[in-house]
Amino acid sequence: MSVKYIKSMLGLGLVLSLTSCRSLFFATDIIPSTVQVPYMKNSSNECYYLDDFMPTPDALITGRNGNLSLRYYSYKAATYKEWDNTKINLSFYSNDMRCWSLFEEFYTSH
């Protein structure tokens, strides 16, 4: 094999390895699919059994504050009420870990 052939093969291998890694560097360009979040009232009189019908969130934080259990659902792209294809955050509280009431909802536009 000639030196020129070896150099061209090494150059081709370098180009292929760099382009195959491209997806690692541009993973943030992936647009999440939009999730349909069910309509909920922001009222202490409403009781929701979240585990039965809420779509899987992109992030879920749970915790406690005194005798209340808390849950924070976050969706990177969701349709909820009049908000379409936005980042949605919903916060719930519960006394018994079964029946949840919505106490905060907000969105961040893209």
Q: Where are the domains of the chain?
A: 1-30, 35-108
Any idea which of 10-19, 39-48, 77-86, 101-110 has the lowest mean pLDDT? 10-19
Per-residue pLDDT, 19? 43
Phi then psi for 23, rounded to 5 degrees? Answer: -65, -25
Res. 12: pLDDT tops 90 = no
Per-residue pLDDT, 20? 45
Question: Please, which pLDDT band fits residue 1 given cuts at 50, 70 and 90?
Answer: low
- What's the pLDDT tens digit per position in 17-53? 444 444 444 445 555 689 999 999 998 889 999 999 9
- Parallel, antiparallel, or unpaired: how do β-strands 101-108 and 35-36 relate? unpaired
Do 70 and 95 touch, CB atoms closer than 8 A?
Answer: no
Do 95 and 67 touch, CB atoms closer than 8 A?
Answer: yes
User: Whole-angstrom Cα distance, residue 45 to residue 100?
Assistant: 10
